[in-house]
Amino acid sequence: MPSSPEKRNRDTTRRLLDWYDKERRDLPWRALPGMKADPYKVWLSETMLQQTTVAAVKGYFRRFTERWPDVHALAAASREEVMAAWAGLGYYARARNLHKTAIIVSRDRGGSFPDTEEGLRELPGIGPYTAAAIAAIAFARRAVVVDANIERVVARWQAISTPLPGARKKIALVMDSLTPQQRAGDFAQAMMDLGSVICSPSRRKAGVLSLPDCDVCPISSTCLGRDQHPQFYPVRKAKTPRPTRYGLALLVFDEKGQVLVETRPDKGLLGGMDIFPGTGWPDGKAAQDNYPAGPENSAGQLMEAHGGGAVLNTVVEHVFSHFRIILTIHRLDVSSGTVALNPSQRWVPLAEIDDIALPTVMRKVARSGGMLKS
């Protein structure tokens, strides 16, 4: 090991940047070596990558940038268009804030993003991590960037035994000591790449945790965790089991080949997205696990007014971050003129169902009702 913490830090930073120059991942939002990063693409990708994987984001990023190649184009889109394009990516407040920020940057800043962490954090949806990542990658600012990959690499490299989330302050301090004055953006991306392809998450198979690929790691010689069972870092508290909730989704069809959808309120689960009438589980009390049809929810109101409908021989299961939902699917055929729509509801032609802002759980419902093939 190096003779001093400072030398160990310098050696680690240099080795990682040397490795990155040779092994950097080719990602659609990254500038080519020697080229300046596009702040719009950096911001868009970092927003999409929150709580999501690179593999899941690539297709969305490509479709967004083909449709809206710059921040002015995104700002000119309707929120409904943006939400529909985002559908399936999850954490839908990100999409609402994405559109708000695009409008602000286009209208008030002439299309230029702030180039400091402080300025970036004033924009909707940009928190400490995203501000640091954009400042470092897009504007070559020295900023300390810590995402989930970096968190894992640092916890192993420093053999931090404090369980998460309590270890995060120490991890940030270690990352601060490693981040260079120059090339902070490259260094952050190098740490992300290292965590993705070499110092990867441990997976349990046959009761045994997989190991990171320490033999090819460019910073293994300075890593304290390599010989201390690196698969056990970062240390985590035991997970609380996800509760299971039960609800109902109602597919209401009319004589014109349309289906009834309603738009969720902006705040709360699936905020701003389109859903089929249901039994209140998205905004129900957390302690409740069964959400029957009743006068307080749209499914109950419709079923009471139009004869109850038919139960389809299918259920839909979906896992959210904090609970699992099991939905029984009902079908109701009505005349559109007999339905009193509330302000959140509208009829959608079946041919257009693939184009609206259906979240993943509702796409599952649509597939169960034969409206979607994929």
Give me the pLDDT at residue 347, please.
96
CATH number, domain 244-368, options 3.10.110.10, 3.90.79.10, 3.40.50.360, 3.90.1150.10: 3.90.79.10
> Which ranges of the chain have pLDDT less than 50?
1-2
Record the tokens describing residue 194, joined without a space.
């290292």
Helices (H), the chain: 5-23, 39-49, 54-67, 71-76, 79-86, 93-109, 117-120, 128-139, 148-157, 168-178, 184-197, 298-306, 360-368
- Annotated catalytic residues are 46
Give residue limits of the domains in the chain: 5-232, 244-368
Are β-strands 244-253 and 324-333 bridged in parallel, bridged antiparallel, or unpaired? parallel
Q: What is the pLDDT of residues 282-341, one digit of tens each?
A: 988 878 889 999 999 999 999 999 988 888 878 999 999 889 999 999 999 999 889 999
pLDDT at residue 237, rounded to an integer: 87
Q: pLDDT value at position 240? A: 85
DSSP state of 31: P
CATH architecture label of 5-232 = Orthogonal Bundle (1.10)
Burial of residue 214 (CB within 10 Å: 0-12, 13-18, 19+) is middle
- Tokens, residue 141: 């600012």
Tell me what pLDDT residue 332 has.
94
User: What pTM does this model have?
Assistant: 0.86
pLDDT at 3 (0 to 100): 63
